[in-house]
Amino acid sequence: MFPFSVKSVLHVLALTLLLAPSGVFSSLASPVLAGPIGKNCTIGSIHNGTATGRNISIAGVSTYLAEPPAAHIGKDKAKKVILFFSDVFGAFAINNELLQDYFATQGYTVLGPDYFFGDPIGLHVSPDLEPFDPNFDLNAWVAKSKKQADAAVPAWIDGVKKRYGPKAKYTAVGYCFGAPYSMETSATDQVLAGAFAHPGLLTEDHFRKLKKPFLLSCAESDSSFPLESRRRAEDILAEDHATYHVQIFSGTTHGFAVRGNLTNENERWAKEESARSVIGWFDRFTD
Ligand SMILES: *[C@@H]1O[C@H](CO)[C@@H](O)[C@H](O)[C@H]1NC(C)=O
Ligand SMILES: *[C@@H]1O[C@H](CO)[C@@H](O)[C@H](O)[C@H]1NC(C)=O
Ligand SMILES: *[C@@H]1O[C@H](CO)[C@@H](O)[C@H](O)[C@H]1NC(C)=O
Ligand SMILES: *[C@@H]1O[C@H](CO)[C@@H](O)[C@H](O)[C@H]1NC(C)=O
């Protein structure tokens, strides 16, 4: 095992390699704004509750589906669909299931692809964040997962659009590992609005290329998206006259919107307010 400082250097190297070789968003010239997946992306509380969604397959990807209560489904109303790009624990981890279920109660059909293909990080890292498996190589897992997810997401989005049709109103939200997908989707006409919370794996280009209204739900102290990066992102959005909203929660750290400690009043409020804000933002552009 490397001491953590050496590991961090390796993470930065891994991120450089991850963001460098492929895709439209890989411009080598674009500085990194949200850092690599590290230990802070894997810590936090596990929530208790009973998930009410189901497991369906879209474009060969197992997908968590949470549907709104009947009262929300008016005959003449266009369906509202959230593409839910999860953190490293995956769309089928209980915290993410409960979050998707909440979005569904607010009138949205929510779809979370398992872009880890049955190998979420929870299989390797315990809730208190010590590796179960001493041989677990986080960087290798991230590199593998990013490659798989990059390859799967475009066809998955096409599959979602086939299933719900051109009249449905699509939005996208991403947490940590999922943030690039919400931003990349929001750089196209595939959605009406986007959002992220405590992002990872982003460069300045992600902000420059944004086309759709975007909500940034941020921790005060975020090792992946530190203050300087957040301010740089704000500068870019303002310069480009983007439509955006930035919210910051005091006393929170990376992961708060998914893995906050719900017995801590501040963390509970921040987690719930972040989710409410995502819905408020999406309602604004889909109602
Ligand atoms: C979740 O449930 C377990 C078992 O019932 C309990 O020990 C734990 O304290 C609960 N956690 C929270 C955050 O409520
Ligand atoms: C979802 O269903 C697929 C196909 O039956 C299965 O392979 C996968 O393990 C299921 N995922 C979960 C999290 O239940
Ligand atoms: C994890 O987050 C805490 C609180 O924000 C920070 O003090 C610490 O340096 C972070 N660790 C790493 C490895 O980034
Ligand atoms: C969660 O917060 C409560 C209240 O602040 C604290 O007693 C508890 O130790 C925290 N749990 C974890 C896992 O941090």
Tell whether ligand 4 has an atom less than 6 A from the beta carbon of residue 45: yes
HSE of 134, CA atoms in CB hemisphere, 13 A: 1
Tell whether ligand 4 has an atom less than 6 A from the beta carbon of residue 286: no
Model confidence pLDDT, tens digit, residues 110-121: 999 999 999 999
CATH of the domain at 270: 3.40.50.1820
Structural domain contains residue 155: yes
Structural domain contains residue 174: yes
Give, using CA atoms, the residue closest to atom 8 of ligand 1. Answer: 48
Percent share of the chain, pLDDT over 90: 80
pLDDT of residue 73: 65
Cα–Cα distance, 281 to 263 (Å, whole number):
27
- For residue 168, give the 3-state DSSP assignment: coil
Q: Per the structure, how many domains does the chain have?
A: 1
Active site includes 124? no
Active site includes 137? no
* Whether residue 68 has pLDDT greater than 60: yes
Give, using CA atoms, the residue closest to atom 4 of ligand 4. Answer: 264
Active site includes 176? yes
Q: 57 to each of 60, 103, 145, 150, how far by Cα in Å?
A: 6, 20, 19, 18
| Residues spanned by the domain of 107 | 6-286
Percent share of the chain, pLDDT over 70: 86
Give, using CA atoms, the residue closest to atom 3 of ligand 2. Answer: 62
The mean-pLDDT minimum among 39-48, 108-117, 261-270 falls in 39-48
Structural domain contains residue 1: no
Catalytic residue among 11, 87, 176, 198: 176
